């Protein structure tokens, strides 16, 4: 939950506001702010900006990093460590890009085999009183 004070424009009363959110949303906010700050800093170095525009970009980048740092410390998140883990995973070649339909098909096949195995066990264990096996369809 994020809480903030809304400053009034005409009246003299302040209003306290809150935004209810989940932890995952705050991770996304931190990541987006840090990535945006990096983009701004990269734009300053790669583009030919005037001193004023370069200074504005750097100020915005610093502000984004400050906000991201505040939220990250509140939830115990380390962006740099997470980025390092991600880069290490990419270097190893671990990829989750093809888990869609193949993953669902594998799950369905496993579930189907499990049902068939349990049916055969039921058929084997159930016998009639005269010793003949009872088939269950």
Residue 65 belongs to a domain: yes
Number of domains into which the chain is organized: 1
| Residue 132 falls inside a structural domain | no
Q: How far is CA 30 from CA 37, 71, 76, in A?
A: 11, 7, 11
- pLDDT, one tens digit per residue, over 8-35 is 777 677 888 888 888 889 999 999 999 9
In a domain, residue 56? The reply is yes
In a domain, 29, yes or no: yes
pLDDT digits (tens, 9 = 90+) for 79-97: 999 989 988 888 887 555 5
Residues whose CB falls within 8 Å of the CB of residue 49, separated by 6 or more in sequence, listed in order: 43, 57
Domain assignment present for 18: no
The answer as to whether 90 is a domain residue is no
Range of the domain at 31: 24-79
Q: What is the C-alpha separation between 114 and 93, in angstroms, rounded?
A: 32
Q: What pLDDT is attached to residue 116? A: 66
Task: State the DSSP code for 56.
Answer: H
- Angstrom distance (rounded) from CA 69 to CA 59: 15
């Amino acid at each position: 939950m994020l809480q903030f004070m809304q400053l009034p424009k005409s009246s003299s009363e302040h209003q306290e506001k809150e935004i209810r959110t989940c932890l995952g949303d705050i991770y996304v906010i931190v990541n987006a702010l840090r990535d945006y700050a990096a983009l701004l800093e990269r734009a300053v170095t790669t583009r030919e900006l005037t001193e004023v525009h370069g200074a504005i970009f750097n100020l915005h980048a610093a502000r984004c990093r400050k906000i991201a740092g505040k939220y990250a410390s509140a939830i115990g998140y380390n962006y740099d460590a997470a980025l390092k883990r991600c880069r290490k995973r990419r270097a190893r070649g671990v990829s989750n890009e093809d888990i869609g339909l193949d993953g669902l098909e594998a799950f369905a096949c496993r579930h189907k085999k499990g049902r068939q195995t349990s049916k055969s066990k039921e058929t084997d264990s159930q016998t009639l009183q005269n010793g003949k096996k009872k088939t269950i369809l």
